[in-house]
Amino acid sequence: MSDQDRSPPGSDWGLESESTPQGSADQLTRFMFDTFPVRGHYVHLDASWRALIAHQEYPPLIREVLAEAMAATALLVATLKFDGVLTLQMQGDGPMHLLVVQGTAKQSLRGVARYTREPGSSDLRELLGHGQMTVTLENADRSSRYQGVVPLVGARIAECLEEYFRRSEQLPSRLWLSATPTSVAGLLLQRLPVGSSASSDDDLNELAEADDDWKRVVMLAQTVNAQELLELSPAHLLHRLFNEEVLRVYESVPVFFQCVCSRDRVANILRSLGPVEVQSILDEQGQVEVRCEFCSRAFSFDAVDALAVCAPASSVLGTAGPQ
């Protein structure tokens, strides 16, 4: 069966058929099935992905995993019910010892990977060695924090995160991720709870029906190939996969790369190091240069600036004044 030849989706799909021609936008699209409790999110990233890797040279296999992690983070953030920050982190003793991607509720993303040697495989269990994935949720002011540890149960991020959803939210979830050097896309399907305790016959029937519906949409989604995931517009992709279902598609929201680093934040780091430590860096290097891990932006403080930010308030004038 080929759905690609069918006419483009109409307005009942909630999106204009001409929206998002191939590779033109970074956006996240949420959808719900109307007649059974399954929701989904689709994300497509080009410019934001290229911005994320603009300052770093990565071996192709690591770049691929970082791309998938970025799309996965956008999808995870989309499921948050609060205005917070989500961090997807992987750590291990393999060739890639650290990968961090952070996303905010406004869908700004940043990320970085660290490696010690060229990996021979993108299988997470080889790439990370003995390691794990963690998903950390913090509210916007960082006053409360939840962390879920995800064992490396499979070769890919998608498999590990399916396990995460099963453990942390008890939501059966399926995830498809696909990346190229210039773009990345992901699709997440989640089955929402039905009924109460499934005690009556009606409840049991409802549950059995929901089981069937879930299995059917997963089977349909599984027919997606990497090219479709990466190249079709949200409307065309959802039509291609679920054209026999009743689907409610919400307006897409933009996703972008944004680093939260600033000179003020770096000044805070210097302050926390204290004047003695800062002076020893100055003695060694003549200035203090701090480079952001996420965007490679460099912040440099000469001796006067560096000592001014970490000096007690009363002596700032004396230190920062003209020489």
Tell me how far apart the alpha carbons of residues 94 and 130 are, in angstroms, rounded to a whole number: 7
Binding mask 295-314 for Zn ion (x = CB under 5 A): x-x-----------------
Strands 84-92 and 108-115: unpaired
- Nearest approach, Cβ of 100 to Zn ion (angstroms)? 12
Residue 152 interacts with Zn ion (CB under 5 A): yes or no: no
Determine the Cα–Cα distance for residues 137 and 102; give it in Å rounded to an integer: 10
Q: How far apart are CA 125 and CA 160, in angstroms?
A: 11
- Region of 98-106, 154-162, 233-241, 292-300 interacting with Zn ion (CB under 5 A): 292-300
Nearer to Zn ion, 104 or 168 (CB): 104
- Residue 17's alpha-carbon distances to 44, 221, 244, 316, in angstroms, are 16, 20, 17, 60
Nearer to Zn ion, 70 or 247 (CB): 70
Q: Is 51 in the site for Zn ion (CB under 5 A)?
A: no
Q: Which of 8, 6, 31, 28 has the alpha carbon at shortest distance from 18?
A: 8
Q: Does 249 bind Zn ion (CB under 5 A)?
A: no
Q: Which residue from 3, 78, 36, 31 is spatially nearest to 215, judged by alpha carbons? A: 36
Q: Which of residues 176-195 bind Zn ion (CB under 5 A)?
A: none
Answer for which of 128, 184, 230, 259 binds Zn ion (CB under 5 A) is 259
Task: Please give the full DSSP string across 188-248, using - where no structure is assigned.
Answer: EEEEPP-SSS--SHHHHHHHHHHHHHHHHHHHHHTT--HHHHHHS-HHHHHHHHHTTS-EE
112 is an interface residue for Zn ion by CB under 5 A: no
Binding residue count for Zn ion, defined by CB under 5 A: 6
- 261 touches Zn ion by CB under 5 A: yes
What distance separates the 2 farthest-apart alpha carbons in the chain? 85
Candidate segments 124-132, 151-159, 183-191, 260-268, binder of Zn ion by CB under 5 A = 260-268
Shortest Cβ 55–Zn ion spacing (Å) = 9
Q: List all residues 6 or more positions away from 212 whose beta carbon is below 8 Å from its beta carbon.
A: none
- Please say which residue, 104 or 319, places its beta carbon nearer to Zn ion: 104
The answer to whether 155 and 123 are in contact (CB under 8 A) is yes
Q: Which is nearer to Zn ion, 269 or 303 (CB)?
A: 269
Residues 49, 176, 294, 299: which binds Zn ion (CB under 5 A)? Answer: 294
Closest approach of Zn ion to the CB of residue 76, in Å: 21
Interface with Zn ion by CB under 5 A: which range of 59-67, 172-180, 268-276, 290-298?
290-298
- Token pair in block for residue 81: 């019910």
> Could you list the residues that contact Zn ion (CB under 5 A)?
259, 261, 292, 294-295, 297
